Chains A and B, each alone.
Chain A
Amino acid sequence: MSGDLETLAAGALDAALAAGAGDAEAYAQDGDGIEVRVYEGEVEALTEAAERGVGVRAWIDGRSGYAYGTDLSDEGVRAIAAGAVEAARVADPDEFAGPPADAGGAVDVEGLLDSSVAGWGTESKVELAQEVERAARADERVVAIEDTVYADEAQRVAIASSSGARGGYESTSCYAYARAIAADDGDDRQTGLGFEVARGPGRLDAGAIGREAADRATSLLGATKPQSRTCPVVLDETVAASFIGFIGGVLCADAVQRGRSPFAGRLGDEIATEALTLTDDGLDPQGPASAPFDGEGTPRSRTPLIDAGTLRTYLHDSYTARRQGGGQGSTGNAARSGYRSPPTVSTSNLLIAEGERELDGLLAEAGDGVYVTDVAGLHSGVNPVSGTFSVGASGRRIEGGELAAAHTEFTIASDLPKMLAAVRAAGRPARWVPFGGSVKAPALLIGEMAVGGT
């Protein structure tokens, strides 16, 4: 299936070498998908998407450049390749630049394809979205569903590089979400998001998505601001995923090497409590970022990042590994957001190990505190260099070890190293959350955080 894409990638590689590149790499991508938006039971918008393009990296004497395009005629591909070479001539040389020396491997990852993406007709996908919306509306306090969306994609990828990478794979993915608006007798209004991600629509639970949207919105009705204080905080799975996704970002070697990580120079240190074990897993069959190889053709892998509190490694692509030296290899973490941009070091799928207790156990241990179910402005509210943050939040009060009144319009503040050092327990079960990258997270109990309210 991806054979013609592999031919395309190989042709683009040859064109770049012919245009004067010392080394080159071509990444070709082809995808098609559908997006269904439903509103008040009717289809609001139906989009059929198909897209195909190629991106070329070229290296000349340590200078690297990138170009992409969608004109895939011979002439078009030659122009893209020439663009990459021309771009490389502008850059300054960097002794560590170049394609991965050990490219060319691939690992088998089962389950990347789900036949229901192609097998389900448009009507069935529309019905799924309608079912999500119906389930969200079942609670009479829900007054409107702002958006209900189902979307899927089948994607094919191929890579070819002058250092020997050759390969291709196919994968499918889908998601559905709804945003519900709830209102009470007074004039209070609250919103809630329900969502699931999966390889195919056959694995989505439409009713659960709709009910989650409704539950999240209604549970905040009548919310007040909490009292400002320092107290235990329980982060739900989505909030835990957002924070851990951010932490994954500053554990990437690129951030560390360029002095933009609060965890620089901490390898082998206890940066968290024993309760936290974090793995970057590019091979988990359910993980949206799983693949046989990464964005530059290095096999994906499973990398223990934090092992019962101890920082084991940073995440690498071939550039950061070479720059690190000392025999460091790529961990298969070169990520692409498509053919339009060159690879950068990034997490694949982050997995937080589950603890022994479910949510009620974490709440009981917290005793009195705040349960956070949503944070706003995380990416603007965290200083990635120092790790300090103050972000907007909403959730519930924890009183006597149980959930009590709703709270909104407050902030939680700390810094990332302090927060990791204060993780008291991980809950269970974990769920896949597409925020902050792709993270499978359980709820987390943080012993102490500053809550800013009234």
Chain B
Amino acid sequence: MPDERNNAVSLIDPALAERVISRALENGGDFAEVFCEERSGFSLSIDESRVERAQRGAERGAGVRVVSGDTTYFSHVDGLAEPDLLRAAEAAAAALSGERAEPRALATAEAPELQEVEVAPEVVPAERKAELLRELDERARAAGDEVAQAQGSYAEGRRRVQVASSEGVHATDDRTRVRLGAQVVARRGDVVETGFETLGAHRGFELLENGAVELGAQAAESALTLLGADPAPAGSMPVVVGKGFGGVLFHEMTGHGLESDAVQKGASVYAGKVGERVAAEHLVAYDDGRLPGAWGTGAIDDEGAPSQKTAVIEGGKVTSYLYDVVRARKDGAESTANGRRESFRHLPIPRMTNTYIAPEDAGPDDLISEVERGFYAVSFAGGQVDPATGDFVFGVSEGYMIEGGKVTKPCRGATLIGNCLDALAGIDAVANDFEMKTGFCGKDGQRVPVGTGQGHVRIGELTVGGTAVG
């Protein structure tokens, strides 16, 4: 099995891909593409100490699109047989009439640079995965008498894709991802708190073999700590954002605003800001689709462009937006390999891969010791940003007060509220303890895996909205 991954495995014959592209352009259009995919997955969970929800799924199909000027026509089908593909091509072409581009001959698909997968998850017996969840459950329940509930989830997925276009692009990828999650509820009298933790990567089952079940204990620890929490304060103060999952703040408040579709529609506060100073001079940030083993990594994007590392902020200035093919054409730019899609049933749109603020020299304690009174947001339950206005709100799932340069008591019910540009400009320190975490990002009804991460980051001033309202 592993050997197969080292080669460019075509899902369909290149000659068939050329016939499909040619059929798609029959009624006109200046660009056509066929995206083929074979996907499979398995997931399992544990709840009330019982292994349940064992699920398996497999799908194969293709999406065909034709672009004519600023309009995209798209159709998708289940199945990869020639009649299926030609039917999709005809449906995509149905509404077109006009000049047609002459498709270029397809390049020979090169062997993709695949991520290392030592143990293909599909060859690991399902019983081993159930065992993993039982161990995780045990660790969580052993963490303390106040642990009331523990839930765990395991998921694996494999996507094999092949992209061919009228511009001669022909590329393949084979992506394997595994992920383990733990959620623990702790209870003391009427007080109920939740802790969660995840571990995932674009890797094989080996990721979970050594100590991953400790996630259960870690999630329990968060929940137990929060039992002693006071209501969060309300007001403006310095905020230190945690490493790893804290990076979701940057993902939401800056990453989305740099996606070129929002920029081109004037729906981003970062529109017209390339070359402009938006952050402190020391700040550097990347979108990196090549980061080894990371959750949002791939050999190519879903339009066949080789993945790349794009500096989006350098010297505190915006240096690049994130482009797919269609938006790059519009701006006369090159794709930055950010054309991603949930599956063959979706059109590619500009999406982040792994987005992060680059680590600097300070240690995490240095960031905290300089704060007289502030808030420490370790992780977020989620958040929302309106890219057009830049206003954001984040729910803090684990947070603490900082008093006299030290982390003191835990706080519950905090939210961070602010505006992207102000908060980004307010970042005055970044620590060296860089860590990447897994996430799923939703946009236009499409959910894709993304990596978020950072070292600890400090924002000089931000509004903390707590339940302690006087």
Contacts and interface: CB of A to CB of B under 8 A. Distances in A.
Nearest to B58: A69
A392 B417 contact: yes
B466 interface: yes
A98 B260 CA distance: 49
Contact of B265 (A39, A89, A260, A386): A39
A410 B149 CA distance: 33
Interface in A188-245: 189-191, 228-230
A90 B71 contact: no
Interface of A: 39, 42-53, 64-71, 79-80, 83-84, 86-92, 94, 122, 143-144, 146-147, 179, 181, 189-191, 228-230, 258-260, 340-342, 376-377, 379-381, 383, 385-386, 388-392, 394, 408-411, 413, 450-452
A451 B58 CA distance: 48
Contacts of B42: 87
B35 interface: no
A228 B234 contact: yes
Given A47-B75, A88-B54, A388-B467, A383 B192 contact: yes
B272 interface: no
A83 B44 CA distance: 13
B269 to A, nearest CB: 8
Contact of A260 (B79, B149, B193, B465): B149
Given A42-B70, A385-B185, A452-B465, A87 B56 contact: yes
B414 interface: yes
B382 A451 contact: no
Interface stretch (B6-14, B45-53, B109-117, B298-306): B45-53
Nearest to B42: A87
Contact of A122 (B95, B345, B469): B95
Given A45-B347, A341-B55, A411 B60 contact: no
B59 A90 contact: no
Contact of B71 (A43, A48, A64): A43
Nearest to B69: A42
Contact of B72 (A46, A379, A409, A450): A46
A46 B469 contact: no
B163 interface: no
Interface residues of B, number: 76
Contacts, number: 224
B332 interface: no
Given A49-B345, A70-B61, A259-B185, A390 B79 contact: no
A148 B413 CA distance: 35
A70 B78 contact: yes
A64 B76 contact: no
A452 B469 contact: yes
Interface stretch (B125-133, B198-206, B238-246, B428-436): B125-133
B359 interface: no
A42 B149 contact: no
B345 A383 contact: no
Contacts of B61: 70
A133 B55 CA distance: 42
A240 to B, nearest CB: 19
Given A87-B126, A91-B54, A230 B469 contact: yes
Contacts of B470: 228
Contacts of A380: 380-384, 394-395, 397
Contact of A90 (B58, B130, B234): B130
Contacts of B94: 48
